[in-house]
A and B are shown apart, each in its own frame.
Chain A
Amino acid sequence: MENKYLFNYLLQLGDNSLILGHRLSEWCGHGPILEVDMALTNIALDLFGQARNYFQYAAQVENKGRTEDDLAMLRDVREFKNVLLVEQPNEDFAYTILRQFFFDAFHFSFLQELQHSNDEQLSAIAQKSLKEVTYHLKYSSDWVIRLGDGTEISHEKIQNAVNDLWMYMGELCEENETDKEMTSLGIGVDLNDIQGTVTQKIKEILQEATLNIPESTWNQSGGKNGKHTEHLGFILSELQWMQRTYPNMKW
């Protein structure tokens, strides 16, 4: 049983990185300026690298002959376990940056704790990834402040993004059965422990960016258990098109 939970846990982590990385890769060639284009795709690359580490390990834990590629390219929507936040569309630059910032704030605190996992491989992945995510968080925080405390239009756009994406924040630190099981075994991160730090970081940056924190406390969730917004299906139809159309093709 432990292996099933560990496998699901690895998919939760890997799927977050894969789907957010894919969203960022949609900016490739479309960034508002060259430096932003390169930064977003660099972050996507880091996330894909992390996803590979999780999927390689998951394939090994599952031990049914599936590979990292099978896990990324041949699972269907309901088998994906990423949080809803990361599958939300790019909309505009403000949305993309804000989504990134919310995820980075969570990801940074999460990996800090995951370093102390008693699972050696997870701890190694966390140590490696944390160095990259430190740069991501710095980058997205800087841009949230620049847009929020920028012009009237940039402020309005990123405030809209905060208002719209706020309902996906709760899920980041919401425990499901897998999280609870992994925490009790000392493998996973106790999400209750990091919630305070994550919220604190977000409030601090939003305040510096002169942005209002929405009052609504109602949250949307389900992604970690395979219940997604309509957007994930569209992502997968693009992401998996090649493998679905030409099975086993390589390049």
Chain B
Amino acid sequence: MNIDHQHIYDLLEQVPDPEVPALSIMDLGIVRNVELKNNTAEITITPTYTGCPAMDMIEVNIKAVLQENGIESNIKSVLSPPWTTDWLTEKGKQKLKEFGIAPPVAKTFDKLSLSQEERLVQCPICESSNTKMISQFGSTACKSLFKCNNCLEPFDYFKCH
């Protein structure tokens, strides 16, 4: 069977993030490298957060998807360079918004949005920028809780990291 890199990347597009299933692991930007060695795919991934409980599941899912397509794989996890929200693709950010999660507003670590000195985070529902942080820590390690002062809906914000 003839397998090439692009084919593997296409298959990886089908592996969802278990906690935000609207995103694939490619959108999330956690796939660092794909190499082919003797018909085995060596895939290097990086965790979003050190304690992310989804990492083990992601590894299992990658192996499963590739296996269904007749490709054996080894998964390696690396920490460096660390994942930041900059690794999210533009397509990924758009999907987050459609899913009802406000995408990270700025490049890397944005102290303004963290300290709430300015209203920067846009409500994913009504697009108002009149929003307020309720809690820095949300339902998963990667999100904060926000409230929209305009449409009054609460929403998740994928925090800058």
Contact = CB atoms under 8 A, between A and B. Distances in A.
A33 to B, nearest CB: 9
B146 to A, nearest CB: 12
Nearest to A135: B136
Give the interface size bracket for A toward B.
20 to 34
Contacts of B20: none
Contact of A131 (B84, B135, B137): B84
A28 to B, nearest CB: 13
Contacts, number: 73
Given A120-B80, A135-B114, A49 B135 contact: no
Contacts of B53: 45
B161 interface: yes
A132 interface: yes
Interface of A is mostly: helix
B21 interface: no
Nearest to B143: A42
B115 interface: yes
Contacts of B115: 138
B114 A49 contact: no
Interface string A43-81: 101111110110000000000000000000000000000
A38 B137 contact: yes
Nearest to B78: A124
A210 interface: no
Interface in B63-122: 78-84, 109, 114-115
B51 A49 contact: yes
Contact of A125 (B79, B145, B159): B79
A153 B145 CA distance: 28
B137 A42 contact: yes
Interface in A116-134: 120-121, 123-125, 127-129, 131-132, 134
Q: Of B114, B134, B141, B145, which is in contact with the most chain A CB atoms at under 10 Å from its CB?
A: B141
Contacts of B79: 53, 121, 124-125, 127-128
B126 interface: no
Given A123-B80, A131-B84, 4 more contacts: A48-B51, A127-B79, A127-B82, A139-B136
